[in-house]
């Protein structure tokens, strides 16, 4: 496998602060819920959107495009005030919280690079850290951490990228995608279908059925053991031997996987595109890393509770409306020929359990399982979702050529999005050491035959 190596330079043209417009005259503060609390162990989330543009039009129009993006960003932030604010922990407060104050703003970096746009926005394998210079930093201290930062990078001959770094304690993938789609809509001067973010935390925390506040109080010191310190993890450095790749499962591939599972276990319910994709990819990851039979492996997928819990305010709830569901397995279980079928069955059983239990019951059960199973030798988790519709984020010049989750690390994480081809398939992003990636690629393709 030949890995293309590209050297590039970048020039920062401008670093500006974009404030909400109109700006409210009063503060907006949001208490954290248990769903936010568990994300204190997660580093910031980084996503890059690549947009191609004809060269002869790009250089003529980039200044006007940039002014439009700044203006529409300011308008959008007035609907998403917490993203212009910070996660704070004042001395007088027993707990951290999200705070927007008049005058707060988002850092926006404007840059130019001579990097190969087509190389970075393609599906072929490359060094995972080659795109990281396109991602803005999210500076933080023990008492304050910005919610979000942005970077727009011009590739003079091909297009540009828009990168977003979000503090995971403040917002999950659903919330950041809702923000990006609103920004894109206002960029096209179309505000007729803007979603209205729901900021109400009182209902989420205090409703007797939900009971998230009691979980927050009970487990606060578990996730934040050091008092008065935010202690958010920094960006994870990726070494040069880590390879990034994008793989696709077409609708025909998914149907083939479904047929193979049903031939062995015809009664498994919930054989959705997500279940089959998660089972296939996680199985290939474990097998490619040749994990020992006695090793304990945690497979985690994300559950969006917004459609299930009315007290979260519905699908437009702002913040973290998700939790992880984890299955614990032994390495030897993946040595079997039909390991992918076994994982599909485990995921299906998990979905059945999720549907039968309340949010609080499920969260308590997950914490109990982790406490019982620790320590874990290997953790695999999926980020993103085909339901986000990231390839529909159109600022006025068409959809993305490529969306990359730059925060995916080689520890066992992978990302999932809808196929950019609009064929009902799924696109997967993964980073692995080069020798492991060779094996993973082979297993991934062989499993589809």
The region, left, alpha or beta by phi > 0 then psi within -120 to 50, assigned to residue 404 is beta
Looking up tokens 């500076």 gives: 139
Tokens of 76: 């959008």
Q: Is 114 a catalytic residue?
A: no
Of the listed 104, 116, 168, 253, which one is catalytic? Answer: 168
Distance CA 308, CA 298 (A): 25
- Nearest residue to 51 (alpha-carbon basis) of 131, 153, 145: 153
Of the listed 119, 207, 219, 394, which one is catalytic? Answer: 394
Q: Is 124 a catalytic residue?
A: no
Distance CA 388, CA 138 (A): 23
Catalytic positions, please? 168, 394
């Amino acid at each position: 496998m030949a890995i293309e190596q590209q050297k590039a330079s970048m020039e920062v043209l401008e670093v500006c602060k974009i404030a909400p417009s109109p700006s409210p005259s009063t503060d907006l503060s949001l208490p954290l819920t248990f769903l936010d609390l568990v994300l204190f162990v997660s580093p910031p989330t980084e996503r890059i959107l690549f947009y191609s543009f004809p060269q002869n039009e790009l250089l003529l129009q980039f200044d006007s495009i940039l002014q439009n993006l700044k203006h529409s960003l300011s308008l959008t932030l007035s609907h998403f005030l917490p993203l212009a604010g910070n996660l704070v922990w004042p001395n007088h407060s027993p707990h951290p919280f999200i705070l927007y104050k008049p005058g707060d703003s988002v850092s926006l970096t404007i840059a130019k690079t001579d990097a190969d746009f087509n190389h970075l926005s393609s599906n072929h394998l490359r060094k995972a850290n080659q795109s990281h210079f396109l991602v803005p930093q999210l500076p933080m201290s023990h008492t304050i951490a910005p919610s979000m930062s942005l970077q727009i990078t011009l590739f003079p001959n091909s297009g540009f990228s828009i990168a977003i770094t979000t503090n995971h304690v403040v917002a999950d993938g659903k919330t950041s995608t809702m923000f990006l789609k609103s920004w894109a809509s206002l960029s096209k001067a179309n505000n007729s279908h803007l979603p209205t973010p729901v900021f109400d935390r009182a209902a989420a925390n205090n409703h007797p059925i939900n009971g998230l506040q009691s979980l927050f109080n009970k487990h606060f010191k578990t996730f934040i053991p050091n008092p008065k310190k935010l202690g958010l993890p920094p960006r994870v450095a990726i070494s040069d031997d880590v390879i990034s790749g994008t793989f696709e499962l077409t609708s025909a591939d998914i149907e083939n996987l479904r047929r193979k599972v049903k031939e062995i276990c015809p009664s498994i319910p919930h054989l959705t595109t997500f279940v089959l994709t998660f089972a296939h990819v996680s199985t290939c990851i474990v097998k490619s890393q040749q994990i020992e039979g006695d090793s304990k492996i945690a497979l985690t997928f994300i559950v969006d509770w917004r459609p299930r819990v009315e007290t979260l305010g519905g699908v437009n709830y702002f913040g973290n409306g998700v939790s992880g569901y984890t299955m614990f397995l032994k390495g030897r279980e993946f040595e079997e020929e039909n390991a992918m079928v076994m994982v599909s069955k485990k995921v299906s059983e998990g979905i059945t359990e999720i549907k039968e239990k309340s949010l609080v019951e499920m969260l308590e059960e997950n914490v109990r399982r982790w406490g019982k199973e620790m320590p874990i030798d290997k953790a695999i988790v999926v980020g993103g979702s085909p339901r986000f519709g990231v390839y529909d984020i159109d600022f006025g010049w068409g959809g993305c050529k490529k969306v990359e989750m730059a925060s995916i690390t080689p520890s066992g994480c992978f990302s999932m999005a809808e196929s950019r081809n609009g064929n009902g398939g799924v696109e997967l992003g993964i980073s692995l050491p080069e020798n492991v990636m060779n094996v993973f690629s082979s297993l991934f393709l062989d499993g589809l035959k």
